[in-house]
Every structure is written in structure tokens, then in C-alpha cells.
Amino acid sequence: MDNRRSTTEYVFTISGGPVCWKSTIQSIIALSTTEAEYMAVVETAKEALWLIGLVNKLSVQQGGVQLHCDNQSATYLAKNHIYYARTKHIDVRFHKIRELIASGEIVLQKIGTEENAADMVTKPVTTDKFKHYLNLLNVYSC
């Protein structure tokens, strides 16, 4: 049953292998695709902050976490602090991502949909496409 809620999905990798992933229905109904993608970026950034803390406790030094998003509007909105009338409804709590990008803790980059491995957990895909996504994550069958 369609409840009008979008899906947030992400996959984190370390040294090319998946270590953390999630696919969940968003708790808030988004008013646009941009808003849904923006909320997913923020949720992913929160998980990234937790993983940064874990990796730091393991005494592993790293730069900013690279976060990929296949929605150009959400990427642009996260990187720019300019007021836009069409996005004024987006809650202030989602704008934390802007601070994380400005500080360098998160490096947000646009990625093409065909290279977005997280799509395999939310969309119906062909066997070939599923194998392509697994290859992107360096997951191979024995």
C-alpha cells in the first residue's frame, strides 16, 4: 500500500567493502523529490558522523567522508545557504548538513543513478543491474 512516504537508503564502505547499510521508509511525508532526497542525505550524514567516531576510536585517521547523492537539486540545496521560496517548507533540522559540509566533515558529491549502489535496496532491478551494484560494493559470490 502506498503511504506516500519516500525511502531513505545508504551503503557505507571502508576500503571498498560494505560495512553499514540501511533502507527504511521516511517518518515524514516529503512534499517533493528534492525534499525526500535532502532528508535522506541528512539521515546518511548522521550515520556518517557516528562511523567517523567509531573509526577515530580505532585510531584510524581519515579525511572527510565522501557522501554521494544522485539528486542534483538536493546536493545543491545542501551546499548553498541561499534562501529559496520553493524550499522554505524544509524543516530547519535538516539544514545541519550545511554545517557538516562547510566544516569538511562531509564531502557531498553528485553521483549518477547508474553508479548509486544504494538503489539496489529500494528499487526493482534486473539480475544484471543487481550484479553491477554488487560489483560496485566489491561483493562477489564464491
Q: 107 pLDDT band (50/70/90 cuts)?
A: confident
- Which pTM does this prediction carry? 0.64
The pLDDT of residue 92 is above 80? no
The pLDDT of residue 23 is above 70? yes
Amino acid sitting at position 14: I
What number is the average pLDDT over the span 31-42?
A: 85
pLDDT for 38-82, tens place per residue? Answer: 889 888 988 998 888 888 888 877 777 888 888 888 888 888 766
For the chain, the domains span: 7-136
User: CB within 8 A of 34, min separation 6: which ones?
Assistant: 71, 73, 74, 77, 87
The pLDDT of residue 94 is above 80? no
